[in-house]
Amino acid sequence: MLLLLAAARPAAAQEPVHVFRGATLYPISGPPVANGVLVVRGGKIAAVGAADAVTIPAGATVHDVSGKVILPGLVDTHSHVGGGEGGDRSAPLHPAVRILDTLDPQDDGIKRARAGGITTVNVMPGSGHLMSGQTAYLKLRNGRVVTDLLLCRDVLREVCGGMKMANGTNSRREPPFPGTRAKSAALVRERFVAAQNHRDKLRRAGGDASKAPARDLELEALAEVLDGRRQVHFHTHRADDILTAIRLGQEFGFKPVLHHVSEAWKVADQIAAAGVPSSIILLDAPGGKLETAEIRLSNGAALEKAGAAVAFHTDDGITDSRWFLRMAAMAVRAGMSRDAALDALTLAGARMLGLQERVGSLQAGKDADFIVLSGDPLSVYTHVEQTWVEGARVYDRANPAERALAVGGYGVYRGGEMHTAEGEWEDAQ
Amino acid sequence: MNRTQTITQRAIAPALLGLPVLALAGLAFTTPAAAQLAVRGETVYTMAGAPIRDGVVLLRDGKIERVGPAAQVGVPSGYRVLTAKVVTPGLVDAHSVVGLAGLLNQPHEQDQRDATDALQPELRAFDAYNPREELVGWLRGFGITTVHTGHGPGALVSGQTMVVKTTGENVGEALVDSATMLAFTLGRSVGANYRTPGTRAKGMAMLRTALLKAQDYARKQNGPAAQRPARDLELETLAKVLDGRMPALVTAHEATDILAALRLAQEFKLRLVLDGASEAYLVIPELRAAGVPVILHPTMIRPTGEAQNASLETARTLRAAGIPVALQSGYEGYVPKTRVVLFEAALAAANGLSFEDALRAVTLDAARVIGQERRVGSLEPGKDGDLALFDGDPFEYTTHVCAVVIGGAVVSEECR
């Protein structure tokens, strides 16, 4: 049984303390805890464990959640909520483009995601480019402006997301876009070689500004990839394209997170051997485009069996953020273990974003991001009742206006065509 | 594909020879080689009475022979026995485009809507149906045995629909009803697909003009021989809608468009079946007054465009108002290329529709709305031997469909 006591720091007197007791806790970092207690102090988890092992602090607001289930807030490793944009049609690679410059915190998708229990999201530009731009890691706090939601604190100095790449058919277009797969790989390699040269010049210049090359936003962003400070998120479907993505990473010294990975079941052993994680999506039917003709619901099971890391993503609006939990259930239906499927909604995704020290599990010291469910996480009849981010409730099904975000109805969503126009879908998936 | 047996139908020849299409409707499936089958379930949902605990369904020569508690219905010798936790009728998808809209989403296999003209009632579904299409097998694997498919939404009149079983190597083997409904669409989506109509009001005017012309055509066809007009496929089909032989399946999502559909049906005395109907909850009194059944949008429809105001609770709302409601997989323009009506019913059941009402919406109520309740949709003697076998609550995502029976033949035995 778990017993993870609060970090031994004196609590500031004004920090609110919330205690949730009676629920079955799924810490993810350990086995489920029946009749558990979760203590939240300020924005952090202070303690988590069995009822007889956790002391309830005096003065805490106690929430009786008997019969409920508490999971860490879900981590969506690939989404298009927020209405963000990436590169344009002027070039196939846009490493300097930041989606964070275009995100709308009031977007419908962000509200639907909270209703679906998602608390951390990697929002990405589309896949219609070899490199469509820099992604943004968000916390779905109730924010007014984009910086309220970003995980990074300093937009000007920190790396605030990953780098979106794609291969296969979506990025094949009229020039200047590539017309073949080999050309696609060559264009990517050229830019990474240029980034290596730029980095080497900087190193040779040492601290001498007069010898340093001129600043180049694109090469600087690529250098962050080379240095391992910016994670590549690589859209790829077909088995050969999956291996190409891995090969490019090996040449330039980065480990991509593979995304979609529709034919993972064909090359699961190679993916595992390369030590490369996969962020996958499960669809209610194959097809809709050539590259997903052979996608399988058993991809999660195949990768798990091969020993490869697996997380899920919504690719919202390909699948709706409101039913992200369903992805795990469908994976279990197709042979994945229950533990791995729940991990793939939470901690596995946190690792793929480099955020595993902050989110993805119920552990003392981590961000107080969690969801209260009405029942078993894999049951269709279960509803997300509450979503909490950093100790603040951002969704409450008991509030009719917020419940409507889960259920829909007249005037609930602003709608709009942006994420659903077919061209955009093509970019998305 | 795991089809172990095929259903044969000997009487497809008339359709291929151009004989009257309606003659095909109602032809019986025959399974001369099928072994007799007994299906025993811990719970059997017959949809014709209360669920039976420890029930048995006997299938003989492709049809249901007997249904009842195991204590009362013995299994005759020579019957193969299948067992399951839960047994339901084979599921009925009340509206799809599978078989016309292919999995790859490439132009050569997208036959659900022709772009040359917004109004083409003469297009027949069975001229385009591909029973070997992978998505047909995909649905079958999840227990769907009957599908109302054909021309899709997006045109004023895109063409005709049909009812098939999800089996067969050619269209004749799959056919249950060759000309089921005529598919209309009202709403903004039509204007985006055609040069004209460019507005919804223009679309209504075009439809009314065409129906008036068809009324005139039908009148003259029934008049003196010397004055009969030359045969016109378009008007001939519209005449079938006007005289009630073929219901008008009208896809309309916004309340404005739903009301327009009711107005059109009233003016021309159409047998209206409303489809999509995202905002149906805004016009409940009107729907009740008109006595119109609704083939509701997939529960998981994306809340954008014309479906922006869709609600997960509409199935429940309609049912509570006494409006007949069936669920559909619908049309998908991208990924995933089809939905699965089992999962759409599951989410409706999780959002206020009772378990049995949700099951009805994809079995007996779906069969009724497509006019096939005498053959499919419930487990009753004399009906087609179509069943789905589950290893748990059919609506739970983690439950599997472990066998599918069509016309008394076991067509799938892989747990999915």
Q: Do A293 and B346 touch (CB under 8 A)?
A: no
DSSP track, A261-321: -TTGGGSHHHHHHHT--EEE---SSS-SSGGGTT--TTHHHHHHHHT--EEE--TTTTS-G
SS (H, E, C) chain B: CCCCCCCECHHHHHHHCCCCHHHHCCCCCECCCCCCEEEEEEEECCCCCCCEEEEEEEEECCEEEEEEECCCCCCCCCCEEEEEEEEEECEEECCECCCCECCCCCHHHECCCCCCCCECCCCCHHHCCCCCCHHHHHHHHCCEEEEEEECCCCCCEEEEEEEEECCCCCHHHHEEECCCCEEEECCHHHHHHCCCCCCHHHHHHHHHHHHHHHHHHHHHHCCCHHHCCCCCHHHHHHHHHHCCCCCEEEEECCHHHHHHHHHHHHHHCCCEEEEECCCHHHCHHHHHHHCCCEEECCCCCCCCHHHCCCECCHHHHHHHCCCCEEECCECCCCCCCCCCHHHHHHHHHCCCCCHHHHHHCCCHHHHHHCCCCCCCCCCCCCCECCEEEECCCCCCCCCCEEEEEECCEEEECCCC
Question: Tens digits of per-residue pLDDT, B155-210?
Answer: 999 999 999 999 999 999 999 999 999 999 999 999 999 999 999 999 999 999 99
User: What pLDDT, in 10s, does the model give residues A172-219?
Assistant: 999 999 999 999 999 999 999 999 999 999 999 998 999 999 999 999
**Residue type at A36 in one-letter notation:** G
What count of Cα atoms within 13 Å lies in the side-chain half-sphere of residue B361?
36
Q: How far apart are CA A352 and CA A153, in angstroms?
A: 20
Contact assignment for B334 to A283 by CB distance below 8 Å: no
Residues of B in contact with A317 (CB under 8 A): 302, 304
Mapping DSSP to helix (H, G, I), strand (E, B) and coil, where does residue A105 land?
coil
B340-395 pLDDT tens trace: 999 999 999 999 999 999 999 999 999 999 999 999 999 999 999 999 999 999 99
pLDDT of residue A424: 42
Q: CA B63, CA B65: separation in Å to the nearest integer? A: 6
Q: Per-residue pLDDT for B2 more than 50?
A: no
Is the pTM for the entire model greater than 0.80? yes
Q: In what order do the strands lie in the sheet with A163-166?
A: A131-134, A163-166, A232-236, A257-260, A278-280, A310-312
Q: What is the pLDDT of residue A14?
A: 74
Q: Using alpha carbons, list the distances in angstroms from residue B130 to B126, B150, B172.
A: 8, 11, 11
Q: Chain B interface, mutation test: which of A283, A284, A424, most B Cβ atoms within 10 Å? A: A284
d(CA A311, CA A333): 16
Q: Do A409 and B311 touch (CB under 8 A)?
A: yes
Residue A387 — φ and ψ, nearest 5°? -125, 125
- At residue B21, what is the residue type? V
pLDDT tens digit string along B287-308? 999 999 999 999 999 999 999 9
Q: Give pLDDT, residue B110.
A: 97
Contact B15, B178 (CB under 8 A): yes
Q: What is the CA radius of gyration of chain B?
A: 21
pLDDT at B10 over 50: no
Q: How confident is the model at residue B244 (pLDDT cuts 50, 70, 90)?
A: very high
Residue B24 pLDDT > 70:
no
Return mean pLDDT, chain B.
93
Burial of A30 (0-12, 13-18, 19+ CB in 10 A): middle
Residue A329 with chain B: CB contacts under 8 Å = 396-398
Closest residue in A to B138 (Cα) is A285
Distance from CA of B344 to the nearest CA of A (A): 10
* Partner-chain residue, chosen from B279, B311, B339, that has the shortest CB–CB distance to A284: B339
At residue A65, the pLDDT reads 98
Examine the pLDDT at B31 and tell me if it is beyond 70: no
**Are the C-beta atoms of residues A217 and A96 closer than 8 Å to each other?**
yes
Residues of chain A with pLDDT under 50: 1-9, 11, 417-429
Going by C-alpha positions, the residue among A361, A355, A284, A345 that lies closest to residue A310 is A345
Distance in Å, alpha carbon of A82 to nearest chain B alpha carbon: 15
Q: Are A271 and A303 in contact (CB under 8 A)?
A: yes
A chain contacts of residue B302, beta-carbon cutoff 8 Å:
317, 320, 420
Tokens standing for residue B304: 């954008």
Instruction: Name the residue facing B300 among A290, A320, A378 (closest C-beta).
Output: A320
Distance in angstroms (rounded) separating the CA atoms of residues B212 and B11: 36
Longest pairwise C-alpha distance within chain B: 68
Measured in degrees and rounded to the nearest 5, phi and psi for residue A302 equal: -65, -40
Q: Do B310 and A408 touch (CB under 8 A)?
A: yes
CB contact under 8 A, A380 and B334: no
Q: What residues pair up with A17 in beta bridges, in sequence order?
A: A41
Question: A413 CB near a chain B CB, below 8 Å?
Answer: yes
Answer for the pair B306, B278: CB distance below 8 angstroms, yes or no.
yes
The position carrying tokens 């000007």 is A156
* A247 contacts: CB under 8 Å, gap ≥ 6: none
Question: 3-class DSSP state for residue A135?
Answer: coil
> What is the structure's pLDDT at B34?
58
CA distance A157 to B269: 69
SS3 assignment, position A235 = strand
Question: Given a cut of 90, is residue B309 above it in pLDDT?
Answer: yes
> Which residue has tokens 């894999």?
A378
Do A419 and B102 count as a contact with CB atoms less than 8 A apart?
A: no
Residues of B in contact with A426 (CB under 8 A): 334
Contacts with B108 from chain A: Cβ below 8 Å = none
Contacts of B113 (CB under 8 A, 6+ apart): B151, B152, B153, B154, B155, B158, B159, B193
Tell me: cis bond preceding A176? Omega within 30 of 0 counts: yes
